[in-house]
Structure 1
Amino acid sequence: MSVQELEKEQAPKQAAFGLTGWLRWGWRTLTSMRTALILLFLLALGSVPGSLVPQRGVEPDKVARLYEQNPTLAEWYDRFQLFEVFTSTWFAAVYLLLFTSLIGCIIPRTATYLRELRRRPPAAPKNLSRLPHFASFEGDLDVEKAARRLRKLRFRVETGDGWVSAEKGYLRETGNLFFHIALLGILLAIGAGSLYGYRGNVLVVEGDGFANTVAAYDRYIPGNQVSAESLEPFSFQLTDFKVSYQVTGDKKGQALDYSAYLKVNDSPDGPARDFELKVNTPLEVNGTQTYLIGNGYAPVFKVTDGKGQVAFEGAVPCLIEDKATMTSGCVVKAPDAQPEQLGFLLRFLPTSVPLTDGTYASAFPGELNPEVQLIGAFTGDLGLRSGKPQSVYELAPPEVMKKLTPLVMGTNVPKPLAVGQSVDLPKGAGKLEFVGVKQWITLQVAHDPGRVPALVFAGTAVVAIALSLMIRRRRVFVRAREGTVEVGGLTRTEGSAAGFAEEFADIVKVLSAGEKHVR
C-alpha cells in the first residue's frame, strides 16, 4: 500500500449532511435577520408593478384599453399576473415566506429580551479609567445616595461594596422587538382582510342606482370566508356628477375636482340621505367603503330599425381614448333590430372643433360642444345569441366582424352629430339619433376588516423603529478610590459614543453635587 493510499484511508471521513441537516440549515437561513430584510425588500419591490400597471380590481377600463392598444404587452402582463399583483401567486409566496421568517425571528428574540430584562447590571470594573468616558471628583462615595440619584435619572441600579453600577436604554430592545411584532401584525391584518373582506367594481351612469349585491357588480372579488349574505345591504342612486376643469393657463383642461351626488339608503327600509362622494371622501356604511375611482361620458342614443320600431334607447358608457380631452370610443349594439341586427362604432367629442384637414377633434375635456362621430355602422348577426361573452366596449369578435355588412364606413362617414341630430342609414336599414349626454363613474366597494388593525400596527411599527434608532443602551459605573470618586461610562450601541458624552457630563454633575470639584 502506498503512502498516499494509507493517508487517504486514515483521514477522517466527513459526516453526511443528511436531510435533517439540510432542514436545519434551511430553517436557520429563512429565520435569519438578513433573510427577513431581503424578503421585506422583495415584498416592497413586488408592490411597484401594482402602482405602475393598472389593476383589474381598481382600473378595469385601463386594463381593457391596454388590451386594445397593445394586446401583446397585455398578454405578457397577464402571464406574470401583473394586472393582479396583490393576489398573484408570486406575491403570496413572498408574503408567506416573510410571515414565516418573522415568526422565526421573533420567538428567539423574545426569549433573549426576557432574559435581558431579568438580568441585573454587572458589577463595576476595578479600573474605570479604561472606559471610553471617565471623570473623577474629590469626596467620599455614599453608595445609597449615588444609587438614588441614578434611579431619579431612570437608571436600573445595582450596588456593592464601594461601587454602584447602573444601566439604561432597555427601550431600544423593546422598540426593536415591537417593530418585528408590528410587521407580523400588519401581515396578519392583511391576511384577515383577504379572508374576511371583499371588493368589487361597478360602473354607474347618472340617474341609475346600485344595490350592494353580488349580481350588481361588474367585477367582484370575495375573500375565502365571504358569502353573499356577508354584504352590507345598502343602496344608492347617482343623481348628478360634476367635474371642474382648469380653463386657462398652461394646465388648461386639467381636472380640479370631482363630485358625485348620491341618494343613499343605509338599509333596505332606511330613509334616504344625501351624500357628496369625492375622491378622498368615500362613502362608508357599517365598515364598507365606496370609493370614486374614475369617470367618463355616456352619450344617450336612440336606434330605430328598418321597420320603424325603436330597437335601442339608452345611455352608452364610452371608453376613454384620450384622457387630456376625454375623447371616448363608444359601441352601440341593437340586437332587437329588424330585419337584421345593427351595430355602431362611434367617437364622442366633449368639445368638438373642426380641424384644417376636415376632421374633427375635442379641444377640451369639459362638455362645451358635445358631438358624436359615426365611425362605422354594420348590419348582420352580432353573435350576441351564441352564448359566448362579449365586451361592451367591442362591437363583435374579429371572426364575427368579418361576417357583418358595413353600412357606413370610410369615405361615406357623415359629419359629427350634435345633440338632437340623427343620421339615416343606407338601404332603409334604420336611423341613429344622438339624444343627449350623461356621465358615468366607476366605484370600488371594499370591506376590509383588517384595515384598522393594519393602521394600528403600522403606527406601532413607526413608534417602535423610532425607539430603536433614537435610544442608546448605556452603562454608568461609580467606584470609590482613596478619597476620590471615579465615574466611568460606556455605550452598548455602536456609533453612539459621541452622543453619550454630553449626557455623561450631566450625570457626573448630578453625582458630584455638593462635592469639591470634578476632574
Structure 2
Amino acid sequence: MTETRTPRPKKAQRSDVEVPSLGPLGMARWAWRQLTKMSTALVLLLLLAIAAVPGSLFPQRVQDPDAVTSYIEANPTMGPWLDRLQLFDVFSSYWFSAIYLLLFISLVGCVLPRAVQHFKAWRSKPPRTPRRISRLPQYRKVMLGGRDGAAAPSPDDAVEQAAAALKKRGYRVQTQDLGSAAPSVAAERGMLKEVGNILFHVALLGVLVSVAIGALFGYKGQKIIVEGESFVNTLVDYDSFNPGTNFDPDWLNPFSVRLNNFQATFNRDTSDPRHYGQPTDFNADLTVTDEPGATPQDVNLAVNKPLNVNGTKVYLVGNGYAPVIRVTDGEGNVAYEGPVVTVPSDSVYTSSLTLKVPDARPDQLGFAGLLLPTAVSEPGEIPRSADPALNNPALILSSFYGDLGLDSGQPQNVYVLNTENLTELNSMTSANGPILLDGQHREVQLPNGKGSVEFLDVKRYVGLDVHSDPGRIPAFISFVLAFIGLIMSLFIARRRAWVRATTTEDANGVRCTVLEYGLLARGEDHRLGAEAEKLTALWTSLWEDRGVREFHLNSKA
C-alpha cells in the first residue's frame, strides 16, 4: 500500500528589506564623518603636496609675470589652456584653495573631538582591577613576609605603599576595595602620549593658518639701489611688488634705506687658477631710518644676514655695476645723465646694458651694449672682460634713433631695447662701427648730428628683496610644537598597571601577603617587560626588610 504524503505549503517569499533613505541631513552627517577621518586628512595632505608640484614646473605669475607671458607666447597652443587651468597661479587657484580648506576642515573636525575625548579620559579614574590579572601580558607574583621571622604587611598597607611607589614613577593611581580581603590599586601612565599626538595635529593646523596669514597679509618686493641713492618703503618706490590677497599698502613700515658703499671680495689666490676671480664675499654699508624722525643707523648687509626693520626682512640678493652716462641730444641739451643698471652675464661680470632716452630731440635715442669691468683686447678680436673687478672699465655700445614706443602706454622691459621702429646709428656690423668708451675715450659723437654719449663713472648697485610675512613666527612656533608633539607621541608609552594584595600561608603555615601585579600596554610596547622588571625591583627595595620572595613569573609579551 503506497503512502500518500501531503506536500508542505511553501513559505511565503520574504520581500526585500527596504533601507530608508538617508535624506539631506543624513547625507550631510555621513559626508562630515568621512571628511573628519584621519585617513581622509592624510589623503588630502598627499593631494596638497601633489597639487604644489605644478608650482615648481611652470613659472608663476606672482613671482615673474614676464616669464609667464614669454611661456605663453612660446607655447601658443598649450599655454592658454594651462592659463585657464590656473597652472601659472597654482597657490591662488580654486582647486589648490579647495584642497587647502578641506584639509583644514578635516584636521579641525578630527582633532577637536579627540581632544575632548582625551580630556574626559584624563579626568576619569583608571579602570578597575581585572578579576584575572594573570591573563595580562606581563604578570608577576611576590610574597611578602614569612622569612626569617619577618612579619608580613597587611594587604591594605601593601596596596597603599604600592600606590605611593607607583605615583612616584609617574602613574596616576586609584586604590580600590580597601578593607576587603583583596584590596588593589589601578594605575595608568603615558597620558602625554595622546597629548603629543593632539599637539602635533594642532600644530599642523597652526602651520596651515600661519601660511594663510602670510599669503593674505604679507608682501614681497624687489628694489635695485645704486651707491649714493635711497629707497623708501612705499609702493611707488619698488621696482616690482607682489602683495598678499588682502594686503593694504597703508600697512607698509615707513622706513628708508640708503646705500653708502658696496664691496665685493674676489678670490686672488694665484695658486688656485680654477677659482681665481670668483666672488667670496659681498657686503653693503647702509644707513637705515626706522621711521620718519628716527635717528639713522649705519648697518652692514651681507648674504644670509638679512636686515630686520620692525618685522620686515631685507635680503641682499644681487649686485652689479651701474656706469654713469651722460647723453646730449642733437639740440645740445643733456637728455639723460645718471647711472644705468646693467645685468651680469658671466663670472667676470660682463654685463649687458640698455639705455632708453625718450627726452632726446629731435629724435629719441636708444643704446644697447656691454660693460666690461676689466677690458682686454687682442688684434682682430672683440674686446672682452678678463676680471670681475674694475681694473679697466669699458663700454661697447650700439646706438639707435627713432620711436622707442614708450608713448603708446604699452609696458616694456627696461632691459630690452625693441629696435623695430628704430634706425641704427652705430653697431658692430654698421659702417660707423660700435661706440667704444673707456679710460682714454670718454666721449663719442653720434653720427648724423644726433648728439653725443659720455662715460663719466662706474658705481655699484645692489638688489634687495624686501619680505614681510606676518605668519613667519607663528609658523616657526607651530613647527617646533609639531616636532615636540611628534617626539612625545613616539617615545612616551601608554601603560596600565594593577596591583592586588591578598593574605595566604606558605608551605610551612606561616602567614604572608601575596602581591600580584600585571601590566598592559596601549598598542605595541616592546619596553613593557623592562617596566615589569623595574616594578619587581621597586617592590624588592620597598619591602626588603619584610622578606621578599618572588615565586611566580608569567610573561606573555
| Same fold, judged at TM 0.5 (above) | yes
Distance 1:316 1:82, change over 3 A: farther
Show the counterpart of 2:517. 487
Show the counterpart of 1:3. none
Taking the TM superposition and a 5 Å limit, the aligned residue runs for 1:110-509 are: 110-139=115-144, 141=155, 142-161=158-177, 162-223=183-244, 226-248=247-269, 249=272, 250-322=274-346, 324-354=347-377, 358-374=381-397, 376-396=398-418, 401-412=419-430, 413-414=433-434, 416-419=436-439, 421-480=442-501, 482=504, 483-494=513-524, 496=525, 498-509=526-537
**1:32-64 C-alpha deviation (Å, 9 max, x unpaired):** 212222333344455566678776766x5xx75
The CA deviation at 1:275 is 1.1
- Matched residues in 2 for 1:310 and 1:456: separation? 57
For structure 1, list consecutive stretches of 5 or more residues without a partner in the other structure.
1-5
- Matched residues in 2 for 1:245 and 1:51: separation? 33
**1:153-180 C-alpha deviation (Å, 9 max, x unpaired):** 1101122233222110000111111111
Distance 1:84 1:251, change over 3 A: farther
The CA deviation at 1:474 is 0.8
Show the counterpart of 1:510. 538
Distance 1:91 1:262, change over 3 A: farther
Distance 1:517 1:55, change over 3 A: farther
Question: How many aligned positions are there?
Answer: 502
| Larger of the two Rg values belongs to structure | 2
Aligned partners of 2:72 and 2:79 also within 8 Å:
no
Distance 1:69 1:387, change over 3 A: closer
- Matched residues in 2 for 1:66 and 1:224: separation? 20
The CA deviation at 1:21 is 4.6
- Matched residues in 2 for 1:42 and 1:247: separation? 51
Show the counterpart of 2:36. 31
Distance 1:499 1:54, change over 3 A: farther
The amino acid across from 2:427 in the alignment is M
The amino acid across from 1:72 in the alignment is A
The CA deviation at 1:274 is 0.6
SS in 1 for 2:204: helix
My pick for the range that moved more, 287-296 or 223-232, is: 223-232
Distance 1:478 1:296, change over 3 A: same
SS in 2 for 1:411: coil
The CA deviation at 1:435 is 2.4
The CA deviation at 1:20 is 4.2
Aligned partners of 1:147 and 1:157 also within 8 Å:
yes
Tell me the C-alpha RMSD between the 2 structures: 3.2
The CA deviation at 1:430 is 2.7
- Matched residues in 2 for 1:11 and 1:164: separation? 54
- Matched residues in 2 for 1:88 and 1:253: separation? 45
- Matched residues in 1 for 2:380 and 2:73: separation? 31
The amino acid across from 2:311 in the alignment is G
- Matched residues in 1 for 2:239 and 2:341: separation? 13
The amino acid across from 1:159 in the alignment is T
For structure 2, list consecutive stretches of 5 or more residues without a partner in the other structure.
1-11, 145-151, 178-182, 505-512, 552-557
- Matched residues in 2 for 1:34 and 1:366: separation? 59
Aligned partners of 1:353 and 1:360 also within 8 Å:
yes
| Higher share of residues assigned helix | 1
Distance 1:254 1:117, change over 3 A: farther
The CA deviation at 1:405 is 1.1
- Matched residues in 2 for 1:238 and 1:96: separation? 43
The amino acid across from 1:359 in the alignment is I
Asked whether 1:72 is paired with 2:77, we answer no
The amino acid across from 1:392 in the alignment is V
- Matched residues in 2 for 1:425 and 1:154: separation? 89
The CA deviation at 1:112 is 1.4
- Matched residues in 2 for 1:137 and 1:205: separation? 84
The CA deviation at 1:367 is 3.5
The CA deviation at 1:110 is 1.5
SS in 2 for 1:476: strand
- Matched residues in 1 for 2:523 and 2:54: separation? 38
- Matched residues in 2 for 1:206 and 1:111: separation? 60
- Matched residues in 1 for 2:319 and 2:306: separation? 15
TM-score (norm. length: structure 2): 0.81
The amino acid across from 2:252 in the alignment is L
My pick for the range that moved more, 105-114 or 359-368, is: 359-368
The CA deviation at 1:356 is 8.9
The CA deviation at 1:118 is 2.1
Distance 1:356 1:137, change over 3 A: farther
Distance 1:301 1:447, change over 3 A: same
Aligned partners of 2:60 and 2:68 also within 8 Å:
no
My pick for the range that moved more, 28-37 or 192-201, is: 192-201
**1:7-50 C-alpha deviation (Å, 9 max, x unpaired):** 7x933345556544543343233222122223333444555666
Percent identity reads 42
